[in-house]
Amino acid sequence: MKRSRLSLVFLLPCAPAAAHSGAKYDALEFTSLAVLMAFAAIYAFGAAKLWRRAGAVRGVTRAQALMFAAGWGALALLYLPAVRELSAGLFAAHMIEHEWAILIVAPLLIFGRPFAAFAWALPRALLKMSTRLRKGLQAAWSAAMQPLFATLQHAMVVWIWHASSLYELALQDRATHVVQHACLLASALIFWRAMLLSPQKGLVLFCLFFTIVQSGFLGVLLTLSERLWSARQSANADAWGLTAIEDQQLAGLIMWVPAGLLYTGAALWVAGAWIRSADKIALRTR
């Protein structure tokens, strides 16, 4: 029991999702920090409760809990003062921040099975209330976890926050920036939940291919554009020996090439899982 609780200590690192204006944290950022800490605590409580009932081999394993902890740790790295200062005036650094959240943080959190832990953390009264609404909730959940829906909503969120005036607004307003980060991470969680855990492997591969294309196309537009999408974003580019347009081009390349490679890696992993599953079925039918 003590060992289970000690292992949950690693689930608590996190940091606020906030605007990049200096290393100091304000009330809004501390509120974000409190919310993230609360979710980490809920996960830890739910996992501990599950382990007491079923042991650490069912529902959420210790390995999965460590994956969740790694996701929170990866999220925390993004909000170290030095990282926040760097991404405040460098488009390329800000793009790395967003891609890190989408392609590293979100998959790690999903591998940690957060929804199972959260369900076990719910009080009995809330569970009883949820039972009355079970059909509606299950229908909404099933729709959200469909690969096509998950892929389209993620693409929409990424394009809206990067290819519209909302990006510039997020740089100017702290609250909008919090919403931007929350939307990107939430959409990525839905996306990766569908991609990694859906049994429809063929459809998942198509969705990953579509994501590679649409994300890469946005990166190409950033890279080849002759006009600045956000002058404010590249305010410190000269300190790194870059012009503002070169900083933007580098940001586009990051979205285009490294991100595309990570999506491709995910597609190969899904394809491998699909082949292994097909082999097992073939062996059973012999």
Spell out the domain ranges in the chain.
2-284
CB 69 within 8 A of CB 6: no
Confidence of residue 150 (pLDDT cuts 50, 70, 90): very high
Nearest to 265 by CA among 216, 212, 217, 220: 212
Least trusted range by pLDDT, from 80-84, 135-139, 235-239: 135-139
pLDDT of residue 249: 97
Task: State yes or no: pLDDT of 199 exceeds 50.
Answer: yes
Identify the pLDDT of residue 284.
65
Contact (CB, 8 A) for 94 and 251? yes
- pLDDT band for position 158 (50/70/90)? very high
Task: Please write the tens of the pLDDT for every residue from 97-117.
Answer: 999 999 999 999 999 999 888
Residue type, 262: L
pTM here? 0.86
Mean pLDDT of the chain: 85
Token pair belonging to 60: 């959420």
Question: Does the pLDDT value for residue 5 go beyond 50?
Answer: no
